[in-house]
Amino acid sequence: MDTTTRRYDLDWLRVIAILAVYCHHIGMPFNGDGFHIMNSESSKVLDDIMVYFEQFRLPLLFLISGTGTVLAFSKRNWQQFFKERTGRLIIPLIFGVLFIVPPQTYYQYINEFSSYWQIYKDGRFETNHLWFIENLYVISILAIPLIIFLKSKKSQSFKNWFVKMSSYKVGLLLGGFPLIIFTMLLKRYYPTGSSSLTNFSETFFYTYFFITGILFASSQLFWDNLKKFRRFHLIVFIISSFSFYGYYFIPNNIVEPYVSISIRWDIWYGLCCLLGWSFVLTLLGYGQIYLNRPSPWLKKMNEAIYPFYILHQTVIVVFAYFIIQMNFDIPIKITLLLTSSFIVIVLIYRLIIYPFRITRVLFGMKRKSE
């Protein structure tokens, strides 16, 4: 892939993916799924909608991160890349664990604390939503040998084979087959949705999309084929969407007598992987047509979106703690939470993070000159 030309579609998709995570967390207090702060009433309809979008919001983000990793590597040697990744990921992670996440812990377990500062006395530190940064750092560092290999002449036959496979109509789609098989197998041993790196089913799932992003960034032909077969991928995505919800809503008593619980879970994870994979392929194809163009707002949003991600869940949890106590219906509470949290996050970014060098470093931003 041409690493000297700005890929505006990837910038747009990165912004969209993180905003999708933000919107997902806005709905979490109201879907009955055990968030840090939960409303007394929950919406089954909201939960049914959110479970669908769960299948591709983070896979898309990891894939774009993989592609972005190659673009960052193209301007540096591996030592410089290691230093850059550490500065932009580890510093915000440590700062976030110490200062951004604690308000979430306090309001979630407010009855257990005599004061906010007890969190620091007891050492109650968590990563919470910053698990993404932790995982991304570890995966990106471990991927350095792969990136070096793909940049070398030794990888040419390897890349040629992958490019040839992607030139077939079903080639890119079949690229999701190992994802489906290994996810089903690993879920039998690591069935939880824990974001810990030691939960190998989840780690493998996200690493697969990350490495896919690295492979896509290794040749422009991958992107050409994604655009070429976008309609086919869209059809598969629509079919997988109907299959996903068809299986999701089928009553257990109809399936239970004929299919064991382990097989039922295998089918579920297979459908989830197919849905996420086909969506990402579809979006990357159509994104090249409709999103690969500059915008006066894109540069600003692309710069702000990382600090926005670091801040968003803490602001949501703090505001949700008070909003869920109000005597309003769920749609009104969601509207209040969306509006208030977004305004506050933007104000914190513009007034505290954006203008000052130290806060830019703490939130993983580049210098203004960069």
* Residue 347 amino acid letter: L
Which residues touch 313 (CB under 8 Å, ≥6 apart)? 25, 104, 128, 129
Which residues touch 286 (CB under 8 Å, ≥6 apart)? 230, 234
Q: Give the number of other Cβ atoms within 10 Å of residue 64's Cβ.
A: 28
User: Could you read off the pLDDT tens digit of each residue along the chain, which spans 370 residues?
Assistant: 566 678 899 999 999 999 999 999 999 999 998 899 999 999 999 999 999 999 999 999 999 999 999 988 888 888 999 999 999 999 999 999 999 999 999 999 999 999 999 999 999 999 999 999 999 999 999 999 999 999 889 999 989 999 999 999 999 999 999 999 999 999 999 999 899 999 999 999 999 999 999 999 989 999 999 999 999 999 999 999 999 999 999 998 888 888 999 999 999 999 999 999 999 999 999 999 999 998 989 999 999 999 999 999 999 999 999 999 999 999 999 999 999 999 999 999 999 999 999 999 999 998 876 5
Separation CA 7–CA 26 (nearest Å): 29
Residue (of 192, 190, 184) closest to 265 by Cα position: 184
Separation CA 145–CA 265 (nearest Å): 35
Cα 299–chain centre separation:
20
How many alpha carbons lie under 13 Å from residue 82 in its C-beta half-sphere? 8
Distances (CA, A) of 232 to 50, 60, 64, 235: 25, 19, 21, 5
Which residues touch 54 (CB under 8 Å, ≥6 apart)? 24
Separation CA 220–CA 226 (nearest Å): 10
Greatest pairwise CA separation for the chain in angstroms: 65
Task: Note the pLDDT of residue 367.
Answer: 82
In terms of C-beta density within 10 A (0-12 exposed, 13-18 middle, 19 or more buried), how is residue 368 classed? exposed
Separation CA 218–CA 212 (nearest Å): 10
Task: Note the pLDDT of residue 240.
Answer: 98
Distances (CA, A) of 167 to 60, 174, 251, 255: 22, 12, 40, 39
Residue 40 has what DSSP assignment? S
Separation CA 133–CA 127 (nearest Å): 9
Task: Note the pLDDT of residue 310.
Answer: 98
Task: Note the pLDDT of residue 369.
Answer: 60
Separation CA 98–CA 293 (nearest Å): 39
Separation CA 26–CA 319 (nearest Å): 10
Separation CA 124–CA 105 (nearest Å): 8
Residue 96 has what DSSP assignment? I
Task: Note the pLDDT of residue 76.
Answer: 85
Beta strands in the chain (DSSP E): none
The residue whose two tokens read 């669908």 is: 52
Task: Note the pLDDT of residue 256.
Answer: 84
Structure tokens at 235: 């059809």
Domain ranges of the chain: 8-18+54-362
Judge whether 18 and 309 are in contact, CB under 8 Å.
Answer: yes
Its pTM stands at 0.95
Separation CA 7–CA 18 (nearest Å): 17
Task: Note the pLDDT of residue 170.
Answer: 96
CA angle 313, 203, 270 (to 5 degrees): 100
